[in-house]
Amino acid sequence: MVSTSPMAVPGFRFAGLPAGIKKSGAPDVALLVADEVVPCAGVFTTNRIVAAPVTLSRDTLMRGGNTIRAVVVNSGNANACTGEQGAADARAMAAAVAEAVGCQDDAVLVCSTGVIGAPLPMEKVRAGIGEAAGALRADGLGDFARAIMTTDTRPKIRSVEVEIEGRTVRVAGASKGAGMIHPNMATMLGFVVTDAPVDPLDLDALWHRVCHRTFNAITIDGDTSTNDTALLLAGPGEPLRGEALSALAEAIEAVAGELARDIVRDAEGGTKTVALTVAGAASHADAAAAAEAVALSPLVKTALHGEDPNWGRIIAAVGRSGAAFDPEGLRLAIGDVVIYHGAWMGPGAEARAHAVMTGAEYAIRLELGKGRAERTLHTCDFGPGYVRINADYRS
């Protein structure tokens, strides 16, 4: 079972502490360091406006054959839209880490998150990196998770321990994000490590599949950002193959899935977490289009906040999605309550659906009746807190 404890993973150390980047004085520099160069896979933002650390990290992974030694993260400043100075600052962060932990510059990945367009206070960043290198601990994942937060209200940590081929394998990770969240990718950072050995090419393929079903299956407000990064680091040794690799993939997806849903659970101004599944679609594209239309509808999201089973808003969103379906065969369930099946099921169904919606987490399922494709997105409601947080974000 996936735990919320910051489990130590052999071969990895973590740190996180305040360096003065954030006005609040909260932790804002984090380090993840492997004992040796290890395989690493990365999935990054698809936004055409790309922050300097993302460019650096993508290039580093490609040049290094998907192997690295360390990851440095700063929060409070995105180092995005900062021109050549931003690129130089990202390189300087990698160089500072390399010097502090004893590796090559091109074995370090860099991540930043926070306000776009402001230059990094590099004197503070360098000092913070030096302090963090001296504070690295095997049990430091909790400190790391707190230092990567921005508008998050709590650290997001998950871990699991499984038996594979007669040995105990550990998987642990941390994520951050609470707003500007949408697939491909969202304003989030995600980091997962395992002591299981995996070939770099297998790790890359595995991680892309996992991210499609986890970090790329959450949406809060439809916006994506310039800095989004999800990294998976594995251990050294003879790589797992076949069924052993599949078992590891299940454990990694379990951890990443909870980290992704934790982001939705902590949504800016949100009070509800909803697993929205569109099934019976003619194609995966139709399933995704219908799911996104519903999950992103402000009218649907405000109804979720009001605990109002307003089925008309949901089916209207499906109707404009472009997905193929038979209106008379459309089936909508909130929890286990069918509220619409070609027609409204009556006030009794609405009362039971409302009772489901008073819970903090529940499911909505739409069946289109056109095929076998389906897509699940984890979404949330819109409450007044979302407007307040984002109206005051730079204040």
> Would you please indicate which residues are annotated as catalytic (active-site) residues?
187
* Strand spans (E) along the chain: 12-17, 29-44, 67-77, 108-115, 156-164, 167-176, 189-197, 229-235, 273-281, 331-334, 337-341, 361-367, 373-380
Per the DSSP assignment, residues forming a β-bridge with 229 are: 44, 189
Output the CA torsion 185→8→199→246 (10° steps).
-80
CB atoms within 10 A of CB 273: 23
b/e 11-26 (16+ beta carbons within 10 angstroms → b): bbbbbbbbbebbeeee
* Structure token digits, residue 294: 């519903």
Cβ–Cβ < 8 Å for 257, 347? no
* Among 282, 366, 251, CA closest to 317: 366
Cβ–Cβ < 8 Å for 289, 322? yes
